[in-house]
Amino acid sequence: MASSAPNSRPGAVSRPIVRILTTALIALAPLAATLALARLHLRTNITQFVPYFNDEVGYWHQVLTFKTAGFNGGYYSLNEWPPMASFLHYDTFGPWYPMLYGAAAVLVGWEPYSGIIVNGLALAVALFTFYLLLRLPPRRALLAGGFTLTSWPVLLFLFSNMQESLQQAFAIGTAILFYAVITRRGRLPAALYRGGLAWLLAIAITRPAWALLFLPYFGLASRRRGWGRLIMTLLQSTLAVGVVLLAGMITGAPGNNSIYKTIGSFTISPDIGVRYLLAYVSGNLAAFFNPRKPLLDWLQTVQTLVLIAGALIVLWRRRGAADGIRDEAAFHALNLGGIVAASQALYIVGTGGDYRVTGAHLLLSGLLLVLCRRDRVALALLASNLVFFPAFLDHYAAAARPALTADRAALTEFRAAAHQAVRYDPHAASAWCNTLILPIPLYDERLTGIPGGIGLSFFVDADEVPLPLKSQYLLTDPVTAERLLRRQPRPRLELLAEQPAAALYRNLDANCAPGG
């Protein structure tokens, strides 16, 4: 009789299965922590969450539209300016986030709180891949997990409908890539090199800030040395950045992006571009070093600047050397120094914009420190995070409060009126027939009641939005409606529904059949 294998006895579980299950549980820790914080700290549950400010409302509704209509929905744009690729109807950041989360929404549904679940699952997939591929020993796995869980932007933005959790998941995946690049020191297999480049191109198209990593990628993965390496790295990086920016300009709606606005100022004239850039950087630097900015923002600022300074010191001390330590330092200097510099020149500092973008790059550097066995530095980051735990709890509650206190009766009333007046028509002659335009002050939680498939375009100034309006539907307050009706050509509007402080109209100038 053949003998049985040791693991075939009743009740035995193979070690790989145990490892996979354990890894899955660890990967779900951020989502589990979010559910616990909602119950124990906020005294609620995530089902009470409603997206409330314009960015996350816009993200949420674009996912709903992709789930409902795919690429056949209405336009999300400023002043009804569509992308160059007019078959794409999504906003400045293109269709990538709505596509990814819309695919997940098909599986898990898309309620106002569903973004939190998908955020947690996105991080879980990234962490599961991280732990499973790298097979860290317990101590290092615990350090990586502790740092991730106490990187407060991870938990802050998981409880939101922003795309930060997706970008943090990308940071975790990118840590795996650069660990391979640094440890193999110019000896990446061709397939891995091409796969890494494809990964960086893909994530940079979703957020141009990742394009900063082309420089360390081409430089550290190159087998060249000396000036040839530097010249080739600069050429390759410039080409890759150009591809990313071109893809963004083609796929994203224009006019609502500080990066393209700054670059665009140079197309008017070099003098105007320089003056605009200097004024922009001056304002951003003042906000960056503002003593009144939130404590968590200051924590991240200090951590980032200290790591940049440390990396530069290592580079100076090891100048002329060619080893892994110098490569690590070069990566952290370019990753963190690059995002700080780019934020000052091209982004919105002092409004939380640089905080959320820098958070993903700091997570990337922190995980790479763990992987490269820089335990003292990683432990210092972890300890400083824990010192600010009370500040995190205060910030978490303040950030969550508006999303948990929406007037649900008013939202239900608006949703009923909107669904009766505004209809998505998959057979509409134009995507503008499935678009609603509104002034930016009305871009709030009530828009979660607009049917999926209906694009949400907005304008900032009623005196500057181009006329005639192209969108079939208009949501506006009485003052803005009066300003629009004073202009020429005078808009032809049909009242569909009235709500407190706002009304829904059909724009007859759109030449759409009713409901389509």
Query: Model pTM?
Result: 0.92
3-state secondary structure of 507: strand
- Say if residue 466 is preceded by a cis peptide, omega within 30 of 0: no
Going by C-alpha positions, the residue among 415, 505, 433, 419 that lies closest to residue 72 is 433
User: Around Cβ 87, how many Cβ atoms within 10 Å?
Assistant: 11
User: DSSP code of 78?
Assistant: B
Specify the amino acid at residue 23.
Answer: T
The tokens 């224009």 sit on which residue?
254
Each as own residue / partner, the long-range contacts of residues 397-400 (CB below 8 Å, 24 or more positions apart, any chain) are 397/41, 397/42, 399/156, 399/159, 399/160, 400/38, 400/42, 400/49, 400/159
Going by C-alpha positions, the residue among 365, 379, 390, 388 that lies closest to residue 298 is 388
Q: Which two tokens stand for residue 94?
A: 């293109």
User: DSSP code of 406?
Assistant: -
For residues 465, 470, 444 and 102, what is the CA-based torsion angle, rounded to 10 degrees?
-130
Strand partners, 494: 506
Q: Which residues contact 172 (CB under 8 A, 6 or more apart)?
A: 123, 126, 127, 129, 130, 148, 363, 364, 367
Going by C-alpha positions, the residue among 288, 266, 289, 286 that lies closest to residue 277 is 266
Domain boundaries, the chain: 20-40+113-402, 408-510
Q: Which two tokens stand for residue 257?
A: 């992006």
User: DSSP code of 452?
Assistant: T
H or E stretch covering 157: helix 152-158
Q: Which residues contact 15 (CB under 8 A, 6 or more apart)?
A: none
For the chain (516 residues), the mean pLDDT of every run of 10, in chain order, is 44 70 90 97 95 94 97 96 92 94 94 97 97 90 95 97 97 97 86 96 96 95 75 94 93 75 69 76 86 94 97 88 84 96 82 88 98 95 97 96 93 95 95 97 96 97 95 97 95 93 95 73
Quote the CA–CA distance of 498 and 414 in Å, as a whole number: 9
The tokens 């209809």 sit on which residue?
423
| Category of 471 on φ-ψ map: left (φ > 0), alpha (ψ -120 to 50) or beta | beta
- Scored b (16 or more CB within 10 A) or e, 466-494 reads eeebbbbbbbbbeebbebbeeeeeebebe
Strands 502-507 and 473-476: antiparallel
CA of 275: how far to CAs of 39, 266, 268, 285, in Å?
50, 10, 12, 15
Q: Which two tokens stand for residue 480?
A: 């803005």
CA of 135: how far to CAs of 186, 256, 473, in Å?
23, 43, 54
User: Around Cβ 454, how many Cβ atoms within 10 Å?
Assistant: 28
Could you tell me how many helices (H) and strands (E) the chain has, helices first? Answer: 20, 5
User: Around Cβ 500, how many Cβ atoms within 10 Å?
Assistant: 8
Strands 493-499 and 502-507: antiparallel
Q: Which two tokens stand for residue 179?
A: 């660990």
Q: Which two tokens stand for residue 171?
A: 């940071």
Cβ(253)–Cβ(90) below 8 Å: yes
Cβ(385)–Cβ(152) below 8 Å: yes
For every residue of 278-327, DSSP letters joined together read: HHHHHHHHHHHT-TTS-HHHHHHHHHHHHHHHHHHHHHHHTTT--SHHHH
H or E stretch covering 495: strand 493-499
Specify the amino acid at residue 68.
Answer: T
Specify the amino acid at residue 94.
Answer: G
User: DSSP code of 269?
Assistant: -
CA of 240: how far to CAs of 14, 167, 217, in Å?
45, 19, 11
